[in-house]
A and B are shown apart, each in its own frame.
Chain A
Amino acid sequence: MIRRNISLTETALPQVVAIILMFIAGSVLIDGYFSSRSMISILVFASFVAIAASGQTTVALLGGIDLSIPAVMGLANVMTAALSSQGWPFWTVLLVIFGFAVVIGAMNGLLSMALNINSLIVTLATGAIVGGAVLAWTGGTPTGSAPKWLSSFVAPSGQFVGLPLPGVLLFWVLFSAVWLFVLHKTIFGRWIYATGSSPVAASIAGVPTIRVWILTFAFSACGAATAGVLLAGFTSQGDVRVAAPYLFSTVACVVIGGTSLVGARGGYGRTILGAIILTQMTSLLIALGLNTFLQQAILGALIIVVVASYGREAAVADRL
């Protein structure tokens, strides 16, 4: 491990404090907020965003951004509902979905790194292609229906193997453990941080940077596909457009969590906190009866304030 000075901006303390403060505020201001029921539903919604943002986090660690996440989520969402209702066994549905996700993600990574094009534009283009193709396939109308067990798996009131918790939460714990393990305990995870910190230096040190970009974007697409499949249980019908809000919300929870979009600073643990903060904030604003549109405006302002409080970049004079 590399030892370095730990300042406030490098710990997740502000995020944890924010979560506790919002929890206290909610319990005081809102009736029924302090109940396991409302806690569980907040966590279930947070799990969708956090899983969708898992890839955004790893891509951000490379200094990239993935705007094709909503399209891949939509693809997975539609395929889950459409193919399941055609009688495909669930594992073959998953096989097809993740096959597509790996190909799309690998394309994103290859084009961005090998041709040195900003990933923002590459993923914008692939997102348009994937989203458009799915819309053309379905004719733009919601199709199919998700398997029943998937709906109860993600329902906040659901139970899983006798525990009073919805299955999706246990899945999220497992998913996070795998993601954190890969990022922090494997050589591949080290490569991600090294490449994000300085692609040139990493390349000289023998890191296969192009392969790292390809694999990371493939991982990102798989994370998005996972979220899309889970979302199908929630929406029951398949529709590519249900994932549209995840374009900005995945970026939002990455930056609120404290992962820098410039690369190499942060991690998935922070995104988990970011997703909880984002969901808590939204549910507080809804419960306080604020106009939905103003909520969006306040969310925008909060993102700026939160990032300005700890995510400031160095001044030019300090980078000489």
Chain B
Amino acid sequence: MPVSLKTASAGLTSWAFLLALLIVNLINSPYMLNAQVMFGMLAVAMPLVLGAMAVTPSILSGGGGLDLSIGPLMGFINILLVTSVGAALPGFAAVVVLMLIGAVIGGLNGVLVAIVRVQPIVATLGTYLILSGINLWLLPIPIGPAPDWLLALSRSVAGIPGSVVLLLIPAIIWLILLYTPFVRTLLAVGGDDRVAFSVGINVTAVRILAYALGGLIAAVAGIALTALIQSADASVGPPFTLQVVTAAALGGISLAGGRGGMRNGIKGALSLFLIQTLLTDLGVSTYWQQVCFGGTLLLALVLNSNLTAQVLSGWRRR
């Protein structure tokens, strides 16, 4: 895939930002330089990372695309896993079934956006309300415990932390897709759907698939969330929506669509997580953390914006 110089340098900047955050974290709390602690932190970060990956395809698909229902969908999968699917099926089958459920719900969002043609924010706001309502109706009070195999997943599988195994699922799917025309077609649709349509791309199908893929990854995120909290709780899912959108933006993905990839979601989520960890270790109250997190997001936006890029390139030319 051709990568322009500008996006390449922007990519480097955000990797540097992530690395700097990691170093500052390690200097502030040297105890983190320990495989066990690192694995534990990865497990905590995983629902956010996977959630940010889940919101990415819908943003890439353009046309104001954005799946606001990722959070409640993660919560829905969390509830199904603990209350029914996880209890009825063995581990592997349960994961596959839940991923299919996620893909179907995501696909329905895609149908609303691409065929019914409701603005994506409105359509997925609707499914956000539907899913979070159903979650609370199914499970007014939190229950546990989660199935036994999930406990194993929260520790380690064959020497690899269980949470990383979950990360491999969407990573492998995306890597395979990179070798098919799908990703390039998705970026074309996101860049300008009229041009994509004119060259014969099935814009409707591509958009539906993008939302279905997002739903599938959201299901994996829901499983990671369950592995982390080891119970079912209808109130934990919905707040993830704002966090994953923030993570995607922080990762430098263009909200206009057509530019970026999974790496943006992952980078953004890890940065957000490291900021939260740093602030917690510094003893900053959750309220001030919220302020710092908003401020960081604004700063990242300003630094990533076109105008700033123009000003900087103007300086270079001089």
Contacts and interface: CB of A to CB of B under 8 A. Distances in A.
Is B a genuine binding partner of A? yes
A248 B256 contact: no
Contacts of B256: 118
B294 A129 contact: yes
B118 A312 contact: yes
- Interface size class for chain B? 35 or more
**Interface SS of chain A:** helix
A126 B294 CA distance: 6
A317 B118 CA distance: 16
Contacts of B132: 296
B298 A115 contact: no
B287 A132 contact: yes
B240 interface: no
Interface string A271-315: 000000000000000000001011111111101100110011111
B295 A129 contact: yes
A319 B287 contact: no
A262 interface: yes
B126 interface: yes
Contacts of A261: 64, 119, 121-122
A30 interface: no
A197 B155 CA distance: 54
Contacts of B128: 248, 300
Given A293-B137, A319-B194, A117 B118 contact: no
Question: Could you say which of A121, A135, A261 has the most chain B C-beta atoms within 10 Å of its C-beta?
Answer: A121
Contacts of B290: 128-129, 131-132, 135
Contact of B122 (A132, A140, A294, A304): A304
Nearest to B284: A136
Nearest to A303: B126
B186 interface: no
A127 interface: yes
B178 to A, nearest CB: 25
B125 A122 contact: no
B119 A313 contact: yes
Given A124-B242, A300-B127, A301-B130, A115 B301 contact: yes
Contacts of A170: none
Contact of B301 (A111, A315, A319): A111
A101 B297 CA distance: 20
Interface in A115-171: 115-118, 120-122, 124-129, 131-133, 135-136, 140
Interface in B19-63: none
Interface string A238-264: 000000000010011001000011100
Interface stretch (B2-10, B86-94, B305-313): B305-313
B194 A296 contact: no
Contact of B288 (A120, A132, A316, A320): A132
A267 B52 CA distance: 35
Given A300-B126, A311-B119, A293 B140 contact: yes
B136 interface: yes
Contact of B116 (A115, A135, A308, A314): A308
A118 B259 CA distance: 14
Interface residues of A, number: 52
Given A120-B255, A300-B126, A316 B197 contact: yes
A117 to B, nearest CB: 5
Given A121-B255, A296-B132, A315-B117, A128 B126 contact: no
Nearest to B196: A316
A133 B137 CA distance: 33
B122 A255 contact: yes
A196 to B, nearest CB: 14
A224 interface: no
B255 A118 contact: yes
A111 B182 CA distance: 34
Interface in B215-250: 242, 245-246, 249
B298 A293 contact: no
A251 B121 CA distance: 10
A65 interface: yes
A213 to B, nearest CB: 14
Contact of B133 (A117, A294, A308): A294
Interface in B274-318: 285, 287-295, 297-298, 301-302, 305-308
B123 A293 contact: no
B173 interface: no
A114 interface: yes
B67 interface: no
Contacts of B301: 111, 115, 117, 121-122, 125
Given A115-B301, A262-B119, A293-B134, A316 B193 contact: yes
A251 B125 contact: yes
Interface of B: 64, 66, 112, 116-119, 121-123, 125-137, 140, 193-194, 197-198, 203-204, 242, 245-246, 249, 255-256, 285, 287-295, 297-298, 301-302, 305-308
8 contacts: A65-B121, A111-B301, A115-B306, A125-B298, A128-B290, A135-B290, A260-B119, A304-B112
Given A132-B287, A293-B136, 20 more contacts: A115-B302, A115-B307, A120-B245, A121-B249, A124-B242, A127-B294, A129-B291, A132-B293, A135-B290, A136-B291, A295-B133, A296-B133, A296-B136, A299-B129, A303-B125, A307-B126, A308-B116, A308-B118, A311-B118, A312-B118
8 shortest interchain CB distances as A-B pairs: A300-B129, A132-B290, A297-B133, A128-B294, A296-B133, A129-B294, A304-B126, A136-B287
Interface of A: 65, 111, 114-118, 120-122, 124-129, 131-133, 135-136, 140, 248, 251-252, 255, 260-262, 291, 293-301, 303-304, 307-308, 311-317, 319-320
